[in-house]
Structure 1
Amino acid sequence: MRGLPGLLAFAALIATPAAAQLSPAEQVIVETVEAHHEADIALLERLVNQNSGTHNHAGVKAVADMLAPEFEALGFEVEWIDQSAAGRAGHLFARHEGKPSTTRMLLIGHLDTVFEPSSPFQTFVREGDRGIGPGAEDMKGGDVVILAALRAMKAAGTLQDANIVVAMTGDEEDAGDPLDAARADLIAAGEWADVALGFEALAKIDGRDMSSVARRSSNSWQLEATGKTGHSSGIFQEQVGYGAVYEMARILDAFRRKLPEENLTFNVGFMAGGTPAEVGEDGLSASTVGKTNIIPSKAVAKGDLRTLTQEQTDRIVAAMQAIVDQNLPGTDATISFDFRYPAMAPTQGNRDLLAKLNAINADLGLERMEEFPPSRRGAADISFVAPLVGAALAGMGADGAGGHAEGEYVDLPSMIRQAQRAAILMSRLSQEPRD
Structure 2
Amino acid sequence: MKSLILGLVLLGAAAQAAPLTEVEQVLTQAVAAREPAGRQLLETLVNINSGTRNHAGVKAVGDQLAPAFEALGFSVAWVDGRAFKRAGHLVARFGTRGPKLLLIGHLDTVFAADSKFQRYQVIDERYVKGPGITDMKGGNVVMLLALQALHDAGLLDQLQVQVVLTGDEEDRGDPLLLATEPLRQAGRWADIALGFEDGDGDPATAVVARRSSANWRLEVTGQPAHSSQIFREDIGFGAVYEMARVLAGFREALKGEQLLTFNPGVVVAGTDVQLSDDNRGSAFGKTNVIARKAIVEGDLRALTPEQQARAWSVMQRVADASLAHTTSRFTYADRYPAMAPTAGNTSLLAMYSQASEDLGYGPVRAVDPRRAGAADISFVAGDVAQALDGLGLMGTGGHTDNEVADMHTLTSQARRAALLMYRLSSVADGR
Are 1:203 and 2:200 an aligned pair? yes
- Superposition deviation, residue 23 in structure 1: 2.0
Q: 2:313 is aligned with what amino acid?
A: A
- Superposition deviation, residue 26 in structure 1: 1.3
Q: Which residue of 1 aligns with 2:20?
A: 22
Are 1:295 and 2:290 an aligned pair? yes
- Superposition deviation, residue 202 in structure 1: 4.4
Separation in structure 2 between the aligned mates of residue 213 and residue 202 of structure 1, nearest angstrom: 10
Q: Which residue of 1 aligns with 2:166?
A: 169
Q: Which residue of 1 aligns with 2:189?
A: 192
Residues 201 and 395, structure 2, Cα contact 8 Å, conserved in 1: no
- Superposition deviation, residue 308 in structure 1: 0.4
Q: Which residue of 2 aligns with 1:325?
A: 320
- Superposition deviation, residue 178 in structure 1: 0.3
Q: Which residue of 1 aligns with 2:145?
A: 148
Deviations 1:232-280 (A, max 9, x none): 1211001110001110011111122221221111111110111122221
Q: Which residue of 2 aligns with 1:38?
A: 36
Matches within 5 A, 1:301-316: 301-316=296-311
Deviations 1:334-359 (A, max 9, x none): 11111100100000000011111122
Q: Which residue of 1 aligns with 2:12?
A: none
Separation in structure 2 between the aligned mates of residue 122 and residue 419 of structure 1, nearest angstrom: 25
Aligned residue among 108, 114, 124 for 2:110: 114
Residues 162 and 430, structure 1, Cα contact 8 Å, conserved in 2: yes
Q: Which residue of 2 aligns with 1:14?
A: none
- Superposition deviation, residue 365 in structure 1: 2.0
Separation in structure 2 between the aligned mates of residue 324 and residue 40 of structure 1, nearest angstrom: 53
- Superposition deviation, residue 371 in structure 1: 1.0
- Superposition deviation, residue 22 in structure 1: 1.5
Separation in structure 1 between the aligned mates of residue 71 and residue 20 of structure 2, nearest angstrom: 26
Matches within 5 A, 1:26-425: 26-99=24-97, 102-127=98-123, 128-203=125-200, 209-260=204-255, 261-282=257-278, 284-425=279-420
Deviations 1:16-61 (A, max 9, x none): xxx9622222111111111222211111000000000000000000
Residues 202 and 209, structure 1, Cα contact 8 Å, conserved in 2: no
TM-score normalised by the chain length of structure 1 = 0.92
Separation in structure 2 between the aligned mates of residue 97 and residue 384 of structure 1, nearest angstrom: 23
Q: 2:41 is aligned with what amino acid?
A: L
Residues 216 and 342, structure 1, Cα contact 8 Å, conserved in 2: yes
Separation in structure 2 between the aligned mates of residue 86 and residue 257 of structure 1, nearest angstrom: 39
Larger Rg: 1
Q: 1:109 is aligned with what amino acid?
A: G
Residues 20 and 364, structure 1, Cα contact 8 Å, conserved in 2: no
- Superposition deviation, residue 376 in structure 1: 1.1
Separation in structure 2 between the aligned mates of residue 296 and residue 144 of structure 1, nearest angstrom: 54
Residues 274 and 290, structure 1, Cα contact 8 Å, conserved in 2: yes
Residues 327 and 333, structure 1, Cα contact 8 Å, conserved in 2: yes
Further displaced range: 356-365 or 172-181? 356-365
Unaligned runs of 5+ in 2: 1-16
Q: Tell me, what secondary structure is at the counterpart of 1:386?
A: coil
